[in-house]
Structure 1
Amino acid sequence: MVREPIDQGIPPEQPTVTTVADMELENEDEIISADNMLPAVEVEFENSNVNYTDQNGSMTNMDIDEDSVAAPNIEQPFLFMAVFLILFRVYFRITDKATSILIRFFNMLLVAFDHTYRFPTTPDTIKNHLNFDSLTNNLTYYAVCPKCHALYNRQSPIPSSCTAEQFPHHPLQYKRACCIQVSNPATGSPILVRAALIMVACDMPAARKTCGFTSPVSRRGCYKCDRTFIVDDDTKRVNFSGGYDVENYQWKSTNDVATHAVEWMTATTNKERVEIERNYGTRWSELHRLPYFDAVRFTIIDAMHNLLLGTPKKMFNDWIDDGDLTREDLRLMKQSAEGLVLPIDFDVISSDRIAAGLSGLKAAEWKSWVLIYSPFLLQNHLTARKFKHWMKLVDACRILLKPSMTFNEVDNAHSYLVDFCKEYETIYGSTKITPNIHAHCHIRECILDYGGVYSTWLFGFERYNGILGSIATNRKGTFERTFTKRFLEQTGASDYITTFIAPH
């Protein structure tokens, strides 16, 4: 499918000016101005009062004289101990208060062994002595306009109103604003870097918002085909059943999608836009400004969300709600799971979580459930028909979740998924079919375009989300500088050891 450039049909974005009154911050700050901008100070997660004494009357931060360690040079073996303290704090993500307790314990050991040296009682002081804070000292902080996300350096005078031009694209290419110029660090000469966006990988709701498609529960909820779903007369909800013969699907034309997106953008009333959404399932996305962008093929179906976090979780919950799995079944499954030994690279599921109905499992644990646990545990607890139907999804996942596969295996997995979807409607009813189940029929096309699921699924991003979520913050903003500092400390720790410690 070849995308024809449609630059001439895309209206130029008009520059907009946002007043100070419109630039509300998401929390306690109301406007972006130099007067009320938060200063760039160190964020403390716990009690940072130097005179603090706990309820047990333990040593306070002022019990030790820090004048004796004011010199930045720390001799061995105390240098090793200081580095251990800081790296322990970074790798295990413990709070400043917990680190201070560990420091006081070290100082008590030094007293017990008649050493005169004392460590500073705050992690920041030790980081300064070790020059570890050089990893985060050179950060540049910006104020962000909540309307257009323009950045303003806090060290420079901040305008009273946002002056950024939103989406500065002109229909004539030579008049478009230049991108950020990259320079060669050795010679200082400019380097022209050209990049192309060839894939958008998100969960289903985010993919639709990013690439300009309507909600997955709408009548035109599939962004891979032209199928129009019907609305059930009784429930007044969209029915996603039927139409599993995907070879007969009429695939959306990329040019049609872009054309309808431009129509949505240029519509003068909200009624016109709603009509376009209802008829074509398309909205405007800034990605349509890329003349090569194929919104249909470039927007993939993520296998992690589709095959692991979607259908297996829904089916297990339905089995419990419909009485197919009772509390006694879960108890027996728990006992059977305790004797299982999993292959390497598979996450173990706690037997207690199986007894609790597999609540709160991560995607990696759902992978273990689908491929390892479920064929063994469900066999004697589901009816033969439902178990045989479930195993078709398992057989498809056994093929699709491999690091590599042949074209014949891709076709076999597709056949398993199509049969699974058809029987799902027969066994559980048409009202149980979800947009996620319909999307199973389109996974093959994504694999043929981009290769196996290992090249596209979002496990790495989900792990990073987990790391960011585990960082303790003071909860004063949507994305705190704390995240940046902790991330730089963790990623730069090994370089720090090589640069600052090895020469000594």
Structure 2
Amino acid sequence: MDNGRLMKDKQKLIPTVGHGACLILPGGRNILGGSLFTQFLNADENTANSSSDSEDDQQTSPTFEADCFEVSLDSTQPSPMTCPPTVPCLPEHNEVLTASENESSAAESVVRGALITVSCDIPAARKVSQFLGHKANKGCSRCEFEGERENPRDVTSRMSYFTVVEIVPRLNDTVRSQAVEFLGATNATEVKKIQKKNGVRWSQLLKLTYFDIVTMTMVDPMHTVFLGMIRHETDLIFQDPLFCKESQRVFSSRLKCLRVPYDVGRLPSSLGEKLEFSNLTADQWKNFALIYAKPCLWDLLPPDSYESICMLCDIVQLIVQPSLTDADISRLDYLLKSHHRYFENIYGRFQVSVNYHVALHIPDMIRDFGPPHAFWYFSFERMNGVLSGLPNSNRYVELELFTKFLQDIDIESVLPHDPLVTSWPHLDDILPVAREMSSSVIHPSLLNIRVKSMFATSTQDMYDLQLSIDKGDTNMFGFEWKVEYLPPTRLDLQVTKDFYLKLLCFYEHLYEGNSITVIPRIDKHARCSVNGLSLTSDLHSSDRSSRVKAYFAVVDSEPGYPYFGIVRFFFKSLVIIKGNSFNPTETTKSHDLAYVQWFQFYNGSDDPFFQITDEFYDGDEIISPRRLVSRCVLLKAYSNSPYKFVVEFPA
């Protein structure tokens, strides 16, 4: 999909590494854009303040210092009668950030910055952008929806954000007018009345004339979905009296049997026994939804409850994708709305917290700013973890950590060394070179999506496509399709007679009509990196990544059908293709191949999972590793089950 309709409408957006972006304005000036991540701390306890404000709460106000573009916190509620502090330096204010080696140096570097998004959890986002918290009547920063209080006379009572009416979005111009109205209040009573009516106060970000405070104040999927919806619904499941001790025992057994690859985050081993989920990180909740929830809870819940958690798992599956099409976004929107209604029907309207409402806005944010990877909170929390590990005196923590952080940065590497250099090269001169360098390289996750889509949805010459990939003819796809073998490796091995006959049959089918000679020696490899996946085999000490999925064309004009197997080993093989009357040249060609045995299906249905047996099909054991599109794990639902579930891992 494109990089977002908002930036496409207002200015050209060219994404770069991380959360920054280069904006090319109509005037031709290059501007560094970035996201503002904040975390509000309790001044006494130095812990995250997750409490939410109502109309009467007094909250801290972020202020910005123009000379260093840093965030500081006032200790008092901003008064609408006082002059607001300075604003960030931005192009329209004709201000610049300067940096030099020392005070006497005359060489300065001009850096222009633009704030693209405010990405925080809900309490922090409300404090930065000055929308009222989710206990207020208008608790959403993106629409005019008003929550329903369980007890209208008690402002601390539970609120329902069950959304059945059509969402009316807030408008930037309207919010700005309401903020100016708040700023013009002359007494405390009027202030309280205005903010209760509009659900918004004055924010210093409104002094940035380009800043759309509604659209650019983000809903963070990490807090909203992973730490909010998934955690809440899981707690409700395990608190249900219908989830008895026998169900807990089966759940714990399945959890332990899921031997996931080492590069996939694992859950604590004692999790199933204690059902204690309070200490799970956002990444663990994400993995719980992607991998563990569906197979471990199957047949242990009422059908409605299981259907609800499966919908939520499908939502997470879409949110974590590095690339989303318009069809993906439409499906995400449908799943969010369906789950919203389904969840309320099962657990009641007052279990529908603000997270379930604001999540309905995620599809619109993806249309504006791209996939959630571009704006979610993981990178900020990861940096928090890095900084928290730095030594400090526990007295001036922020100052000491920031000083240490600056000491570790090589500022010389990002500044011009030549004092005569007064400007950076224009992006138009750099981007064509960057595009040319990256045209033949594709990100592993995007490669995996493209390959899966090619095998699963293509309906044209599917059988010929398989043959071309097995031959190694991959230039047709327009990108570099590497197969990288990893140790341990055993070179120049003599093959057995049975394996040689299988290899000969494979090549005769591959080069039908040609006279060939198969070299009876191969190089064996235990591991392989292909399609954005790290795969292992029986030759490796760990077989956790040896169960794989591939598509086979049954009919040439239909998409491929998935099969699941276990990789015995990877190998390179040579074949001599002798000439014919049309091409008399004799060639020796090397092939990247894998020896895979394919499990027989128990019933061939994928509802709720594909079910397989321990028996193998005969034939098609030799295949190009480029056709292996995902890793899987096998799980027995019960100890006496005649079949196993296939649980597929995301890339």
TM-score normalised to the size of structure 1? 0.60
Q: Which letter does structure 2 place at the counterpart of 1:420?
A: H
Q: Which runs of 5+ in 1 are unaligned?
A: 4-25, 28-145, 153-164, 496-504
Following superposition of structure 1 onto structure 2, how do residues 413-452 of structure 1 map, counting pairs within 5 Å?
413-452=332-371
Following superposition of structure 1 onto structure 2, how do residues 312-391 of structure 1 map, counting pairs within 5 Å?
312-343=230-261, 345-356=263-274, 357-391=276-310
Deviations 1:340-382 (A, max 9, x none): 1225643110121333322301111111100100011111321
Q: Which runs of 5+ in 2 are unaligned?
A: 1-5, 11-42, 45-60, 68-82, 414-651
Matched, 1:197 2:115: yes
Higher relative contact order (CA 8 A, sep 6+): 1
Partner of 1:296: 214
Partner of 1:243: 163
Following superposition of structure 1 onto structure 2, how do residues 41-120 of structure 1 map, counting pairs within 5 Å?
none
Partner of 1:275: 193
CA contact (8 A) 1:473 1:480 kept: no
RMSD: 3.5
Go from structure 1 to structure 2 and tell me whether the alpha carbon gap of 1:410 and 1:482 turns closer, same or farther (over 3 Å shift): closer
Larger relative strand fraction: 2
Q: Distance in 2 between matches of 1:425 and 1:386?
A: 11
Q: Distance in 1 between matches of 2:273 and 2:360?
A: 32
Q: CA deviation at 1:288?
A: 0.2
CA contact (8 A) 2:87 2:205 kept: no
Partner of 2:128: 210
Deviations 1:88-118 (A, max 9, x none): xxxxxxxxxxxxxxxxxxxxxxxxxxxxxxx
Q: Distance in 1 between matches of 2:331 and 2:133?
A: 30
Further displaced range: 366-375 or 299-308:
299-308
Partner of 1:167: 85
Q: CA deviation at 1:167?
A: 2.3
Q: CA deviation at 1:301?
A: 0.9
Further displaced range: 377-386 or 425-434:
377-386
Partner of 2:611: none
Larger relative helix fraction: 1
Partner of 2:320: 401
Deviations 1:139-165 (A, max 9, x none): xxxxxxx9989899xxxxxxxxxxxx9
SS in structure 2 at match of 1:200: strand
Deviations 1:374-393 (A, max 9, x none): 01111132111100111111
Partner of 2:203: 285
Q: Distance in 2 between matches of 1:242 and 1:351?
A: 36
Partner of 2:225: 307
Q: Distance in 2 between matches of 1:396 and 1:149?
A: 37
Q: Which letter does structure 1 place at the counterpart of 2:334?
A: S
Matched, 1:232 2:150: yes
Q: Distance in 2 between matches of 1:184 and 1:192?
A: 14
SS in structure 1 at match of 2:141: coil
SS in structure 1 at match of 2:114: coil
Go from structure 1 to structure 2 and tell me whether the alpha carbon gap of 1:439 and 1:342 turns closer, same or farther (over 3 Å shift): same
Q: CA deviation at 1:326?
A: 4.2
Of all paired residues, the percent bearing the same amino acid is: 26
SS in structure 2 at match of 1:213: coil
Q: CA deviation at 1:240?
A: 2.7
Go from structure 1 to structure 2 and tell me whether the alpha carbon gap of 1:169 and 1:293 turns closer, same or farther (over 3 Å shift): closer
Q: Distance in 2 between matches of 1:147 and 1:210?
A: 6
Go from structure 1 to structure 2 and tell me whether the alpha carbon gap of 1:479 and 1:380 turns closer, same or farther (over 3 Å shift): same
Partner of 1:95: none
Q: Distance in 2 between matches of 1:330 and 1:471?
A: 41
Following superposition of structure 1 onto structure 2, how do residues 130-149 of structure 1 map, counting pairs within 5 Å?
none
Q: Distance in 2 between matches of 1:443 and 1:149?
A: 28
Partner of 1:412: 331
CA contact (8 A) 1:353 1:359 kept: no
Q: CA deviation at 1:321?
A: 2.8
TM-score normalised to the size of structure 2? 0.47
Deviations 1:57-103 (A, max 9, x none): xxxxxxxxxxxxxxxxxxxxxxxxxxxxxxxxxxxxxxxxxxxxxxx
Q: CA deviation at 1:328?
A: 4.7
Q: CA deviation at 1:230?
A: 3.0
**How many residues align structurally?**
335
Q: Distance in 2 between matches of 1:294 and 1:397?
A: 27
CA contact (8 A) 2:143 2:169 kept: yes
Go from structure 1 to structure 2 and tell me whether the alpha carbon gap of 1:235 and 1:364 turns closer, same or farther (over 3 Å shift): farther
